[in-house]
Structure formats: structure tokens, C-alpha cells
A = this chain, B = another copy of it.
Amino acid sequence: MTDLSHLHTIVLAGGSGTRFWPASRRLLPKQLLSLALGSNGSLIADTVRRIEPLCPAERVVVATGAHLLAATGEALPWLAPDAFLGEPRAKNTAPCIAWATAVIARRDPKAIVMVVPSDHHIGEPERFREALATALASAKVAITTIGIQPTRPETGYGYIELGEPAGPSVFRVARFVEKPNRALAEEYVQGGRHLWNSGMFFFRAAALLEAVREFAPEVWDGIAQIETAARISAEAEAGAMREAFELFPSVSIDYAVMEKASPLHVVPGDFGWSDLGSWESAWELSPKDEQGNSISEHGVYVDAHDNLVVDLSSARREKVIALVGVEGLCVVQTDDALLVIPRERSQDVRRVVEALTLAKRHDKI
């Protein structure tokens, strides 16, 4: 068993979340919702609870947008105030992860870090933690990621191609592959040598910062300035933060660091993972009746099947939602909005948000 006393976790909670409108909003992104998937807590609370058997709360930091600090803190009341790191501006994952890693390294120079998204669903937490333990052992020798065993020819994800074995259940990454077309995605699923990029990373803090310095010097410069200012005063640090996040390129950790780091390890994972990309995936994960309708205490279904009903309005205990003669619809209700969309079109929710933005209905987005 790996020694986990220096394990720290970065929970990535910067998502802006238009894909679950009207449930998700600019100030209430997906990770702060429960999405009624059998948990009473938010996805981010589930995320932290899920890793706590490996990494206690006092060694968890949550990186989020400054405008989301208050709401994120409310979702995780058992974390200390200094667990929350607010980015002055969203600049994708590379600046965020580099900065959070630097903050952790200040606190614990020997830190081993795992980075987990805050808005995914994990069906089998025990198997998930087994994969984490494998990845953490690997992280002692190389930056490591988890790749998800693909279950369908998904064209919306990036893939990781497996290289040579590097240990039990660990492989070298041969290369990162951009989102493939359908034919290629089908090849990947059948070939068995490609995994979905999960956005989870495991590394020694020092190793990651060294890789940032080498492969992403424009990110490193900002981090170095923040670190220097932090040694002077909290005020100086805040000023350096603002300046650095203004200047950072907006770039993913995959592109800026992972695709260039060598060796890079990957641990195949198969633990009921879903990135919950749309209402479609919420339907897939929800408990359903014999007609494939999501089970809902207020739903009345007549000749209706394969529908998702989500009622997040404050009056929901009193509300009846009746679906008659429809199939494959998502019906989502909040206090101030109602969405009706076919499941297969659920990616197009963003077009509602665009329309509302154009109409200056900022109260609805």
C-alpha cells in the first residue's frame, strides 16, 4: 500500500455549465447540482466524499471561479476556508492546476497531488478508489492519468492511446488523440487500445511544476510571480494573482503539459464513469420505471416512455407533471424556467442560453 500521508487533492470546480440549463446557471454550475441521481448532495459534495477514504478533507483544495467561491463553500461546509482557491479569471485548466499545485507545494513540498473534476458521476466508488490507488503509486515515477474504458463510439471525447506496459494495470501513454470521427471512434472501441481522457491527473507536485516550467513557460512565469509575491504579503499575492490570470494563456493542461510530458502513464479505469455531459446522460443514470421514464413522485405518465422529468422548483412536492403520448423527451422545471427538449437533442440546450443572452435575459442564464 502506497503511503498516502502526503496526498493532496485538487478538485476542479470551474465549470460554467450551460449544458444543464435551466438547472445550471452562471452562478449555479453543474457541480453544485445534485441532478437527482440518487444522491441528496451536490456532485461536488459527492466528489469530495468519494475521495475522503484516501485523502482527508484537510488536504483537499477546491479550485473555482472567484464569483463561485461563496456557493462552492456552501456546498462543502466541512472544508476549511483556506481549502477554496478562487481564480480571478477562468483560463482553462493549465494555469489553474499549476497554481493550485504551487499552493499545495508551499504547504507540503513533498506533496503527491491528484486532480479530479467536480462534476462527474462515478457508479462504482470502490473500484474508482482502486484505480486511484494504482494511479497514485504510478505518480511517484511519472505524471499519470486515468483513461476510461470506452463503452460506445463517442465522438465528443478525446482519446488516449495505450503504449507499453509500465507496471501492473499501468501503461505508458503512446499519444493523445483529438476527438475522432464516428468511423475512427468505432475502431477505437473495438481495438481495445484507446481510452477516454478523463481529466484526472496524478503527480508529485514538484514534477508537475517542473513540467510546467519546461513545456509551458508562459504559465510558469505567472506562477513564479505569484509565489514570489506570496512570500511578501497576502495583499501582494492577490495583486500578482490578478495580474497573472490576466496574462495567462487560456490553455488546457492536456495541451500545455500532458501531451509533451514523457514518460506519461495511464491507468485504465472501469468504474461506471459518466461526465454527465447533457440531460441525455442524466436520463441514462436516473432510476427508471418499466416504460423507461425516470421515476418521479409527481410524474403521471400515460402512453409515454423513455422520458426524463426533473422538477427542481420549490413547489415540486405539490406539483403534478403529466406526460401523455410522448417519448424520449426531457422536461426540466425550475422556479423560473421550463425546458422541453428531445433527449437526443439535449446538446442544443446551449442554444437556449445563447438566445437568452442575445435577448439580455441575464436573470435566466
Could you list which residues of chain A lie within 8 angstroms of chain B, going by C-beta atoms? 21-22, 300, 302-303, 315, 318-326, 329, 331, 333, 335-342, 345, 348-349, 351-352, 355-356, 359, 361, 364
Nearest neighbor of A346 in chain B, beta-carbon distance:
B324
Evaluate whether A319 and B300 lie within 8 angstroms (CB atoms) in the complex, with A324-B345, A324-B349, A329-B326 already known.
no
When distances are taken between beta carbons in the complex, the residues of chain B under 8 Å from A302 are 348, 351-352, 355
- Which of these, B22, B318, B324, B364, contacts A340 with CB under 8 Å? B324
For this chain, the copies found in one complex come to 2
Question: Chain A interface secondary structure, helix, strand, loop or mixed?
Answer: mixed
A297 to chain B, nearest CB (A): 11
Tell me the smallest distance from the CB of A75 to a CB of chain B, in Å: 25
| A324 touching B341, Cβ below 8 Å | yes
Contact A351 B337 (CB under 8 A): no
CB of A261, distance to nearest CB on chain B (Å): 41
- The distance from the CB of A339 to the nearest CB of chain B, in whole angstroms, is 5
What residues of chain B lie closer than 8 Å to A361, measured between beta carbons? 320
A22-B324 Cα distance, complex, nearest whole Å:
13
Smallest CB gap from A311: residue in B: B338
Nearest-CB distance from A359 to chain B (Å)?
A: 8
A352 contacts across to B, CB distance below 8 A: 300, 302, 322, 324
Q: In the complex, what residues of B have CB within 8 A of residue A321's CB?
A: 337-338, 340
Can you name 5 A-B residue pairings with CB atoms under 8 Å? A300-B356, A302-B355, A322-B341, A322-B352, A338-B338
Known: A303-B348, A352-B300. A336 touches B318 (CB 8 A): yes
**Contact partner, A320, options B318, B349, B356, Cβ 8 Å:** B356
Looking across the interface, which residue of chain B has its beta carbon closest to that of A299? B338
Q: Does A340 lie within 8 Å of B345, measured CB to CB?
A: no
Give the docked Cα–Cα distance between A84 and B348 (Å): 53
Most buried by B among A321, A331, A349: A321
In Å, the complex CA distance between A303 and B340 comes to 12
Is B338 touching A326 in the complex (CB atoms < 8 A)? no
Report yes or no: B341 in contact with A320, Cβ–Cβ below 8 A: no
